[in-house]
Structure 1
Amino acid sequence: MVNPQWLKSFATLAELGNFTRTADRLGLTQAAVSQHVRHLEDLYGSLLIRRPRALELTPAGAALLEYCAEVNQAHERLASRLSDADATQGEVALITPGSIGLFIYPMLLDLQQEHPGLAVRHRFAPDTEVLEAVLHNRYELGIVTLKPDDTRLTATPFIEEPLELVIPPDEEVHSWDDLVRIGFIDHAEGQAMANRLLSRRFPGNPGAFHLPRRGFSNQIGMLHEPVARGLGFTVVPRFAREAWERTRPVKVAECGPPVVDTLWWIHRAEWPLSARATGVIRYLRQRIEAACGSMVCLLPPEL
């Protein structure tokens, strides 16, 4: 690895064009600056054309100056990630299942517009991938639908989300035969969700596996299209359906007693959350409490 002080001396010299001024700015002797440049030229060849009143970069010197800028940017990114002084500066990374992700992503964009220095990196993924990503430090925050029992993770209850039977706008569901007639639009967790919910509405039913499947998508954010077009019904968490209704109308069929999942924030237990991550959680809590009075936001007030 190239000595960072050599690079700093070279970049400053390229900026000022003078060995004396460079040495004064860096608090070095002119001889030290010259030595740093010689070390770099031993590695990369001629970097400077020395003229009486100016210095000119060779092609190798120009390439090295670009590299100096890249190193400086990488240093700034690292400092931003490690700094915990300002909740509105730097990057916060979170990974969530599709339904809650569809619900909170516009809120995260609102937060980023309020604080342009904040960069939000968000990924949609199933529970298993969320757990792996947080455990391997690829994301600081995650949301899962089942509380993990891994002691390396801290899990905090966030919000409750019911499952819903979502049908085309002009349909009605009164019996299991109606579901068979309409047909099922499946997704990655569709049959498991359907079995949990439909067992309440239609006790003793043969199960979602026996429903005619009219379609499938692994993107929960796209399921509104076939349902709104009358191609079938589906079972999804409420937040997914609410996100759809911004673009396409669908209908929720009554299913009796609700089937409700608790969603959990997770992060590594060994170190505290950054100020940015804590700020994101607080912001989402405030937005959800304001927007969803009928839903239960479980996040403790101190977070």
Structure 2
Amino acid sequence: MVNPLWLHTFAVLVEKGNFTRTAETIGITQAAVSQHISRLEAEYGPLFIRRSRQLEITPIGQSLLAYVNDISCAEKRLQQKLTEDDPHTGDISLITPGSIGLTLFPLLLELQASYPKLTIHHRFAPDKEILNAILNNQHEIGIVAFKPTDPSICSSHFTEEPLELVVPAGMQIEDWQDLQRLGFISHPDGEAMATRLLSRKYPGSRSIQEIPCRGFTNQISLILEPVAKGLGFTVLPRYARKAFERQEEISVIECGSQVVDTLWLIHRAEWPLTQRAQKAIKFLRSKI
């Protein structure tokens, strides 16, 4: 790595055009200025054409000066990032499960519409990927369906999310046989969610795997499309159901004792959240 003191001397010499004035500006001897430039020229080649009363910078010198300017700009950008924390400017980086994400994303866009200098980065992912993304500093804040035990993660209660049995609108479901006749619309967490919820409504019933599967999708926003068309039932979290636009085409069947997941907001514990992240969290909590 090039000695930054030499580079500073070089940049001042370009500005002042004179070894004496450069030495006075920096507060070193003229001999030291000459030594710094000699070291750079030994490394890169001639930086100046020396005339009796003038220094003319060479193409190599121009390239080195551009490099020095790039370093200066990078340092200024870094300093700006470290010292400025405007709650209304910058990136809001959030990673969540799909269900709660369907509800949060429009709210984040509403926040961005109020403060156009904010930029929203929102990713849907399973819990394990969310935790890894926070630990690896890929996102500032995340939401998971379990409370992490890793001391590097700070977690706080965000909301509750019950599981729901969703069927086509007007469909009467009295017993396990009605579900078997209708069939199941599955998704990546479908069987696990259905097992947890249906064991409450139909204790002693057989496995969800004995109900015919009428369809599968890994896109959470599409799970209720076949249900709305009467092709089957599904079990999914409430926020995914509430995000479906055509609520009149589906029905939620009461299952007695609820199965409820607690959603936890997480971030790295070693440093504080940015003001814009804090503002976003406060805004989302006010809306949920």
Matched letter for residue 251 of structure 2: V
Listed one character per residue, the Cα deviations across residues 80-118 of structure 1 (whole Å, up to 9, x for unaligned) are 543453211222211110011110111111111211222
Give runs of aligned pairs for residues 74-153 of structure 1, distance below 5 A. Answer: 78-79=78-79, 81-83=81-83, 85-153=85-153
Task: Give 1:46 shift.
Answer: 11
Partner of 1:173: 173
Q: Does 1:254 align with 2:253?
A: yes
CA contact (8 A) 1:200 1:255 kept: no
Task: Give SS of 1:204's match.
Answer: coil
Residue of structure 2 in register with 1:239 after alignment? 239
1:269 maps to 2:269? yes
**In 2, Cα distance between equivalents of 1:7 and 1:120:** 39
Q: Given that residues 165 and 255 in structure 2 are in contact (C-alpha distance below 8 angstroms), is that contact kept between their aligned partners in structure 1?
A: no
- Once residues 103 and 272 of structure 2 are traced to their aligned partners in structure 1, the CA distance between those partners, rounded to angstroms, is 26
| Corresponding residue for residue 223 of structure 1 | 223
Normalization by structure 2: what TM-score? 0.75
Distance (whole Å) between structure 2 residues aligned to residue 9 and residue 102 of structure 1: 56
Structure-2 separation of matches of 1:81 and 1:203: 56
Amino acid of the structure 2 residue aligned with 1:256: C
Structure 2, unaligned stretches of length 5 or more? Answer: 31-35, 48-58
Q: Contact (CA 8 Å) 1:220, 1:240: kept in 2 or not?
A: yes
CA RMSD of superposed structures (Å)? 4.0
Q: Which residue of 2 aligns with 1:287?
A: 287
Q: Which amino acid aligns with 2:255?
A: G
SS class of match (1:244):
coil
Tell me how far apart the structure 1 counterparts of residues 44 and 148 of structure 2 sit (CA, whole Å): 52
Change (3 A) 1:68 1:39: farther
| Counterpart secondary structure, 2:108 | helix
What's the secondary structure of 1:123's corresponding residue?
Answer: strand
CA distance 1:242–1:67, change in 2 (3 Å): farther
Which residue identity does 1:178 align to in structure 2? D
Q: 1:150 to 1:112 in 2, by over 3 A?
A: same
Q: CA deviation at 1:169?
A: 2.4
Structure 2 residue aligned with 1:158:
158
Query: Does the CA contact (< 8 Å) of 1:80 and 1:91 recur in 2?
Result: no
* Amino acid aligned to 1:100: I
Greater shift after overlay, 125-134 or 212-221? 212-221
> What does residue 54 of structure 2 align with?
none
Secondary structure of 2:243's counterpart equals: helix
Evaluate the alpha carbon distance shift between residue 117 and residue 202 of structure 1 in structure 2; reply closer, same or farther with a 3 A threshold: same
In the alignment, the residues of structure 2 paired with residue 172 and residue 9 of structure 1 have an alpha-carbon distance, to the nearest angstrom, of: 83
**Residues 85 and 254 of structure 1: CA distance in aligned 2, closer, same or farther (over 3 Å):** same
- Could you tell me how far apart the structure 1 residues matched to 2:92 and 2:5 are? 31
The Cα offsets for residues 193-242 of structure 1, whole Å up to 9 and x where unpaired, read as 11111111111111222221122222212212222222221111111111
- Give 1:155 shift: 1.2
The secondary structure found in structure 1 opposite 2:123 is strand
CA change 1:6–1:128 in 2 (3 A) is same
Higher Cα radius of gyration: 2
Query: For 1:215 and 1:76, how far apart are their aligned partners in 2?
Result: 55
CA contact (8 A) 1:198 1:255 kept: no
For the structure 1 residues 147 and 79, does the alpha-carbon distance in structure 2 shift closer, same or farther, using more than 3 Å as the test?
Answer: same
Distance in 2, Cα, partners of 1:3 & 1:249? 70
Which sections of structure 1, spanning at least 5 residues, go unmatched?
Answer: 48-57, 289-303
Deviation at 1:66, TM superposition (A): 11
* TM-score normalised over the length of structure 1: 0.72
Contact 1:81-1:91 at 8 Å conserved across structures: no
Distance 1:84 1:174, change over 3 A: farther
